């Protein structure tokens, strides 16, 4: 407990700086400059804002490298081709799902269904980990699936809860 330090939530300006500084170091620009505002706006309300922003920037950089362009620009067109944050997360979730065996796929569905609520509109919700208690064999699957979802930055976990990383 003595070594525990809680990092306060990043402000809008902190998030912009966290995205901008690495691009300066790599001599990259945002094209248009408002793309940075779009990215920060997409992740601002997410519980895993920093990892999500890192993921977006990684994917934009990979898209830039794959394009063969020499303009050193992370651009809006690439972000739109990637589908924005929602498209990136959807592709990542699909890839993870397809990489699992049928038992893990079924458990991934169960876990995600517990994290959504349909009351008029689809809404994400926090789920107590203790509420994901099934048979001993299924509990092992739950642990493995949650670990993979966290590693993939699709969900975030605190001591007692899990929740989707983004609405």
Q: If the chain, 167 residues long, is cut into consecutive pieces of 10 residues, what is the mean pLDDT of each piece?
A: 75 89 86 95 82 90 94 95 92 95 96 82 84 94 96 88 83
pLDDT (0 to 100) of residue 153? 84
Please say whether the beta carbons of 162 and 131 come within 8 A. no
Max CA pair span of the chain: 55
pLDDT (0 to 100) of residue 120? 64
Give 161's strand partners.
128
pLDDT (0 to 100) of residue 1? 66
pLDDT (0 to 100) of residue 130? 93
Q: What does pTM read for this prediction?
A: 0.78
Strand, coil or helix: 52: helix
pLDDT (0 to 100) of residue 31? 95
Query: Which DSSP letter does residue 129 get?
Result: G
pLDDT (0 to 100) of residue 167? 63
């Amino acid at each position: 407990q003595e070594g525990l330090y809680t990092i306060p939530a990043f402000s809008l300006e902190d998030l912009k700086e966290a995205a901008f500084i690495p691009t300066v170091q790599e001599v990259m620009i945002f094209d248009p400059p408002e793309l940075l505002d779009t990215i920060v706006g997409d992740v601002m309300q997410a519980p895993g804002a920093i990892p999500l922003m890192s993921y977006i920037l990684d994917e934009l950089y990979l898209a830039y490298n794959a394009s063969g362009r020499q303009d050193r620009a992370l651009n809006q067109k690439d972000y739109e081709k990637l589908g924005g944050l929602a498209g990136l997360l959807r592709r990542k979730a699909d890839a993870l799902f397809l990489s699992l065996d049928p038992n893990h796929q079924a458990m991934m569905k169960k876990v995600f269904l517990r994290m959504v609520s349909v009351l008029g509109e689809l809404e994400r919700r926090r789920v107590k980990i203790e509420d994901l208690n099934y048979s001993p064999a299924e509990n092992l699957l739950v642990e493995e699936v949650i670990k993979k979802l966290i590693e993939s930055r699709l969900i975030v976990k605190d001591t007692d809860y899990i929740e989707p990383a983004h609405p």
